[in-house]
């Protein structure tokens, strides 16, 4: 039941976000005097509708988005009533059209920022003062898993060398065989550089007091550190997990309403950088998605669709990690806001780019003493628009299929 509730919450959150996106277009268009004839939530057959003034509002059967109809978005629109010619959107100044077309993305950004600000006060944001990288504080495991697989300890698994040696959770490993280790990654490398079965001297610090133990390292099968996709090889293992936060250091910090403002700005900046990096990697992730669809292992770093986001939301709520639903809502809104501003038709960013291209071209022609070349013919851009729709549709279908047949999971089921 909780899983289904999480799926519904994320799906409903996406639907509301997209509906508000279209409302942003509608409200700004009306504010400038443009004529908006229709505003609907969903697609397909109409469930109900009503008219207020010159606009018809309604709900359609397929809850996969929404739309609003602004009269005369392009000069080629042939459904503009002669009485409405002066209110056609393309006749308005470019700055007004830019505001209207960007209002959808601005709405997504506003939803994300407000959610971050509320999260900062009631849920907490990642601690900005954490040391980076984290020192090698560890969690001592009960056993070591001999094979390269993810599972719980089972009868017959070797006892963790760290546990046998007397190490405890939260101990900070300082050195291995006298060689200092600065962080958990350095600790793993130092252990891997030794031989299975070798006895290692582990210097640690616990409650401010340093000590040393002798640990006979176990033999396990793991992929090489330099190539996680390669076949597993036999390496040494200490039987610890990490990195753990230093004792008493919180992973998340909550703020008051005023203190939450700079924290929100900082988190938003990090989110912007992460979104940019993720979008750059999308083309190279297509082969990994195809591999996941055709039976290969699903890479957790591959993109997800609405289906995948909803499933992750269900998983999160099922395991009591409701905070992940908030993070998903924030990330999805920010990503959609950025993506929608890409200068490609039929995205809003494509319309904005054309509007400013027209404005720049008119300015240049005026300076050259030549006649204004007029507006861009959208009909000539239709092949490119169809290509974008085809590629985008294929990618969406691929990600949705991967999310159905081979979904990303965050917890063992």
For residue 170, what is the DSSP state?
Answer: T
3-state secondary structure of 219: strand
Measured CA distances, 329 to 13, 22, 67, 144, 223 (Å): 7, 18, 21, 37, 34
Closest CA to 310 of 2, 1, 4: 4
The alpha-carbon radius of gyration of the chain (Å, integer) is 28
Q: Is 229 a catalytic residue?
A: no
Closest CA to 309 of 408, 210, 228, 231: 408
CB atoms under 10 Å from CB of 43, counted, come to 13
Closest CA to 148 of 237, 42, 260: 237
Count of all residues that appear for the chain in the document:
413
For residue 308, what is the DSSP state?
Answer: H
Residue 221's φ and ψ, nearest 5 degrees, are -100, 120
Q: What's the distance, CA 251 to chain centroid? A: 20
Give the span between the Cα atoms of 298 and 111, in whole angstroms. 30
Measured CA distances, 50 to 55, 91, 268 (Å): 9, 28, 39
Pair type for strands 55-70 and 240-244: unpaired
Burial 161-178 (b: 16+ CB within 10 A, else e): bbbbbebebbbbbbbbee
The catalytic residue positions are 22
């Amino acid at each position: 039941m909780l899983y289904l509730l999480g799926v519904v919450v994320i799906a409903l959150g996406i639907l509301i976000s997209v509906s508000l996106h279209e409302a942003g277009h509608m409200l700004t268009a009306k504010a400038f005097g443009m004529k908006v004839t229709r505003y609907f939530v969903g697609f397909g057959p109409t469930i109900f509708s009503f008219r207020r003034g010159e606009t018809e509002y309604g709900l359609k059967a397929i809850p996969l988005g929404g739309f609003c109809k602004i009269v005369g978005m392009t000069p080629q629109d042939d459904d503009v009533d002669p009485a409405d010619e002066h209110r056609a959107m393309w006749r308005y100044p470019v700055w007004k059209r830019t505001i209207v077309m960007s209002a959808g993305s601005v709405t997504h950004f506003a939803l994300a920022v407000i959610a971050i600000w509320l999260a900062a006060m009631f849920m907490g944001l990642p601690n900005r003062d954490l040391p980076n990288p984290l020192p090698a504080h560890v969690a001592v495991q009960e056993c070591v898993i001999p094979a390269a697989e993810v599972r719980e300890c089972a009868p017959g698994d070797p006892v963790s060398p760290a546990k046998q040696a007397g190490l405890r959770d939260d101990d900070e490993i300082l050195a291995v065989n006298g060689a200092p280790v600065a962080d958990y990654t350095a600790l793993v490398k130092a252990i891997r550089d030794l031989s299975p079965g070798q006895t290692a001297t582990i210097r640690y610090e616990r409650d401010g007091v340093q000590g040393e133990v002798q640990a006979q390292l176990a033999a396990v099968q793991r992929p090489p550190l330099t190539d996680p996709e390669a076949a597993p090889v036999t390496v040494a293992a200490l039987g610890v997990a990490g990195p753990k936060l230093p004792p008493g250091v919180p992973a998340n910090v909550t703020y008051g309403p005023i203190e939450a403002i700079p924290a929100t700005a900082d988190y938003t900046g990090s989110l912007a950088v992460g979104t940019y990096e993720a979008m750059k990697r999308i083309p190279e992730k297509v082969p990994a998605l195809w591999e996941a669809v055709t039976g290969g292992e699903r890479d957790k770093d591959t993109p997800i669709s609405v289906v995948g986001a909803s499933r992750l939301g269900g998983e999160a709520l099922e395991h009591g990690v409701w905070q992940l639903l908030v993070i998903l809502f924030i990330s999805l809104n920010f990503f959609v806001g950025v993506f929608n501003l890409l200068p490609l038709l039929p995205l809003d960013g494509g319309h904005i780019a054309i509007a400013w291209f027209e404005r720049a071209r008119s300015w240049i022609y005026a300076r050259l003493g030549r006649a204004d070349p007029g507006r861009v013919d959208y009909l000539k851009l239709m092949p490119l628009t169809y290509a974008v729709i085809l590629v985008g549709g294929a990618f969406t279908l691929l990600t949705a299929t991967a999310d159905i047949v081979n979904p990303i999971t965050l917890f063992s089921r």
